[in-house]
Structure 1
Amino acid sequence: MSSEKSNPIPLNPPVKSLFYRLSQFVGFLLGARFFVAILLTFALYVSTFFLFNQDENFSSFVFDFKVHGIIFCTVLTILAGGIINQFYDVEKDHVVKPFRSRIQSFLKQKYFLYIYLFLSIISLGIATFISYRVLLFFIFYQFVMWYYSHKLSRILIVNNLTFVALTLYPFFGMMVYYQTFSRKVLLMAIFLFLILLIIDIVKDTLTRKVDDVFGYITIPNFFSKKTTITIIISLIVITMLVSGKIVDKSGLTGFMAYYFAAGLFVFITCIFLLINSTRRNKFITLNILRFWVFIGIISMLLNGIYGKI
């Protein structure tokens, strides 16, 4: 009895072309960290109106085109930064993120560079129309993003600090724009800096061997496993102290007060997971902390809806 090999059904040329174009588009979205940019845009709008903007009413904020222009420039710069980071990390991503790399392979690297230049130029062009200070702000932002991807991401401790600083840089810009300097804002900035720093170090523990192979000197592949966990737990304890200080001294009420109070239990859970330091527990810790940052944005939004912070 003869057996025939079953061949996959070939795609029609139009269907094949559509699939290829769709794969290119999805590859671009992943390469540009599009979904991260959406989250940061949402966080920027929420924090700008409900935290930094203490005087304008909602209608004035809606028609403040300078603010929308700054946020739009920020989004374009973040997308461009994601692309240039992907360009420099392409070999590492083939090992760490094989599925994403496979999708990104549908779009040649030179096109990623063209899009990077296009987004950067558009961002600087819009910034020029807003003011020369905004232009200088984004020139510096784009330069440090490129230099981080090119050089700083491979330097011990500097890589973590620079990554977190770049994430918070747009929020700092909005704070300066509205001249919102207070003890409450300072403590919340320290809290966010610490939690993002912890997230970045925990993420590095999951890619320790790959980072070592490709020459990225990180805390997990420079120090011992025990020392790394001690550093992370120490940072969590400091974050808990800052969180307690915010609840005790800053006069927060409503959802934000509940957020920082409940955060103490979240951080204790993370410490217990890290004490029994398995890869699975690190992954769970990473996602708990990421989710808790998102909950903080939602808490600020709800707090703002039912009354300014």
Structure 2
Amino acid sequence: MNSEKETFQPKNTASKSLFYRFSQLVGFLLGARVFVAALLTFALYVSTFFLFNQEESLRNFVFDFKVHGIIFCTVLSILAGGIINQFYDFEKDHIMKPFRTRIQSFIQQKYFLYAYLGLSIISLGVAWMISHRVFVFFVIYQFFMWFYSHKLSRILIINNLTFVSLTLYPFFGMMVYYETFSMKVFLMAIFLFLILLSIDITKDTLTKSVDKTFGYTTIPNYFKTNITKIIMISLLIITMAVSMKIIARTGVSGFMGYYFAGGLFIIILCIYLFLDYSRRSKSATLNILRLWVFIGIIAMLLNGIESKI
């Protein structure tokens, strides 16, 4: 019997160790928000090649290592931003995201900070090798991501505007890099800004009580329900107006034309759902808007491929 116990004990210990290491990996991936970073990277490549850089061939784009370096720095900065954000939001996430917090508990918080510093330093180091201007661009980006997590995320309206601006900051950098200034790009940027702002405010309606408990002053927990409804519906109506402007003034066609035309019906649906203001309808609105952003990326990709053929 003793020999049997001794035989099976190492296997049991090995399986526990493997589970622990796997949990650490998953915890780090969730803490760094790797999946969000992957989606933003995909969106950045699609928009860079098919929207900002319409004259360069695919071959030249593939071998443009400066662009790849900038996107690499962006990815590392986003990962670092996700880590520092979860560090400051740990107590709030403990209530709102208990499963993720449980997985992250396999890693001590100090290791998340080490990862944050490491990713930030590597990003800035690569940026310095590209150019001094790129280095300054990412210093500003990383500073405001830290400052948002540390202070701005708790300030009314500033929190939403800063979050959306930081999400779009890398795309703005690529627009400046390629000097792509046009009415079409400007209107698309406004459209995306309004959609992301609507998503962020809708998300705040679902975390209203927890945000208030931990000192995050958001639109839903500062204003009354009716005012929050008016703000959200107004944003969606303005988004519809911008979408119609894009269709009428910029002459978008193909998949992007279908996307903006279909977006009018999607926004009407979201307005209808938000009038109900139940938790279920707010969750549905949030998921629909998030899905529509992803569909927009795919539409841009397909539209770009169609135009290149």
TM-score by length of 1: 0.96
Q: Which residue in the other structure is 1:5 paired with? A: none
Task: Report how many residues are paired.
Answer: 301
State the shift of 1:277 in Å: 1.0
Structure 1 residue 198: Cα displacement:
0.2
Deviation per CA, 1:12-52, whole angstroms, max 9, x where unpaired? 11110010010000000000010000000000000000000
- What CA distance in whole angstroms lies between the structure 2 residues aligned with 1:90 and 1:229? 29
Q: How does 1:101-250 map to 2 (within 5 A)?
A: 101-250=101-250
User: Structure 2: how far apart are the matches of 1:206 and 1:275?
Assistant: 15
What is the SS of the residue equivalent to 1:306?
helix
Superposition deviation, residue 55 in structure 1: 1.2
Q: Which amino acid aligns with 1:111?
A: Y
Unmatched 5+ stretches in structure 1? 1-8
How far off its partner does 1:213 sit? 0.2
Which residue matches 2:96? 96
CA distance in 2, matches of 1:93, 1:251: 44
Partners of 1:12 and 1:72 lie apart in 2 by: 41
Distance across 1 between alignment mates of 2:43 and 2:120: 21
Question: What are the ranges of 5 or more consecutive residues in structure 2 without an aligned counterpart?
Answer: 1-7
Corresponding residue for residue 277 of structure 2: 277
1:57 aligned residue: 57
Describe the superposition over 1:269-299 as per-residue Cα deviations: whole angstroms up to 9, x where unpaired.
Answer: 0011011110000000000000000000000
* 1:209 partner amino acid: S
Supply the distance in 1 between the matched residues of 2:54 and 2:98 (Cα, whole angstroms): 46
CA shift, 1:54, in A, is 1.8
Q: State the SS of the aligned residue for 1:141.
A: helix
The CA distance in 2 between the partners of 1:71 and 1:272, in whole Å, is 38
* C-alpha distance in 2 between matches for 1:104 and 1:46: 32
> How many angstroms apart in 1 are the aligned matches of 2:259 and 2:195?
14
Distance across 1 between alignment mates of 2:223 and 2:34: 33
C-alpha distance in structure 2 between counterparts of 1:132 and 1:277, whole Å: 49
- Following superposition, the deviation at residue 71 of structure 1 comes to 0.2
Partner of 1:43: 43
Alignment-derived partner of residue 4 in structure 2: none
Q: TM-score normalized by structure 2?
A: 0.96
- d(CA) in 1 for partners of 2:64, 2:88: 37
Q: Which amino acid aligns with 1:185?
A: V
Q: Does 1:293 align with 2:302?
A: no
Give the superposition deviation at 1:178: 0.1
| Matched AA of 2:181 | F
1:251, 1:126 → 2: CA distance? 39
User: In the alignment, what sits opposite 1:83?
Assistant: 83
Structure with a larger share of its residues in helix: 2
Q: Does 1:14 align with 2:28?
A: no
**Which amino acid in structure 2 is aligned with residue 131 of structure 1?**
S
